[in-house]
Structure 1
Amino acid sequence: MRELPVLIYDGDCGFCTRSVRLADRLPVRVRSVPWQEAELERLGVPEQRARREVVLVDESRRLHGGAAAVAALLRHCRGPWRFAGRVLAAPVVRTLAEGVYRLVADNRHRLPGETPACQLPPERRPGS
């Protein structure tokens, strides 16, 4: 039996946690795990990467980070979500999506659902 894709996110960030709850409603089978509880070494995910961006480890153990992780997650879905994932992965759109992802990730402490941990520099966040 193949292992489900694993979506790794920052469990100390309320915005990230709420975003993953939305992703859990998509028509896709994926296991969502905060990086603070994930077996990062077994999954082949460097801790620094998990601290910086959402990471999807697919069934082939390939790592997708940031906007590419969102696109890969959508490509695993059924229906129009799969098409949205393909569009998001297209070269020009991918570049724009990465810029938007970085903007959101760098400002998540200002977004709804933020927690005090979001405002700390990455090296001072809980779990460091």
Structure 2
Amino acid sequence: MRRRPVLVYDGDCGFCAASVALAQKWIRPRCDITSSRRAHLDALGVSRERAEYEALWITPDGTVYGGAQAVAKLLSSAGGGWAVLGAALQPAPMRWAALGVYRVIAHNRHRLPGGTPACVLPAGRGSAQE
């Protein structure tokens, strides 16, 4: 069994990769971070399809959080003020607001700094699920 949570992000998306690099530098989450291209998704209990449309936070016991809740868990893992922000994003109604913001970003990540055509979500997807 893993000892640390794992963050899986879309490794084909430049915006996602840039966001992860910023998180590693400034937030310093306590987790392992891997791209969906390099992750052993079957072993983590998630599908490639899901890993393509939302960030995933997988706990050592296998619980999977996606999208905005994955970001909240990442923030919470960092401690300090980041943990306060992460905790604030988890209960309703803040969870709903965070989900809305996450959806807007996910749908437009190809237009954001670092975004490329590879960042466009698969057709019919993009609604980050909880």
> Fold-level match, TM-score > 0.5?
yes
Secondary structure at the counterpart of residue 107 of structure 1: helix
Residue in 2 aligned with 1:107? 108
- Which ranges in structure 2 are unaligned for 5 or more consecutive residues? 124-130
Amino acid at match of 1:15: F
Q: Give the Cα separation in 2 of the matches to 1:88 and 1:57.
A: 17
- Which ranges in structure 1 are unaligned for 5 or more consecutive residues? 124-128
Q: Residues 2 and 13 of structure 1: is their aligned pair in 2 closer, same or farther, counting only changes over 3 Å?
A: closer
Q: Give the Cα separation in 1 of the matches to 2:50 and 2:79.
A: 28
Q: Which runs of 4+ in 1 moved over 3 A?
A: none
Amino acid at match of 1:53: E
What TM-score do the two structures reach when normalised by structure 2? 0.86
What TM-score do the two structures reach when normalised by structure 1? 0.88
Could you report, residue by residue, the CA deviation over 1:78-123 in whole angstroms, capped at 9, with x for unpaired residues?
111111111011201100110110110011111110122124x527
Amino acid at match of 1:102: R
Identity %: 47
Q: Aligned-pair RMSD on alpha carbons?
A: 1.6
Could you report, residue by residue, the CA deviation over 1:33-76 in whole angstroms, capped at 9, with x for unpaired residues?
11011100000011111011000111221101000000111111
Secondary structure at the counterpart of residue 76 of structure 1: helix
Amino acid at match of 1:42: A
Residue in 2 aligned with 1:12? 12
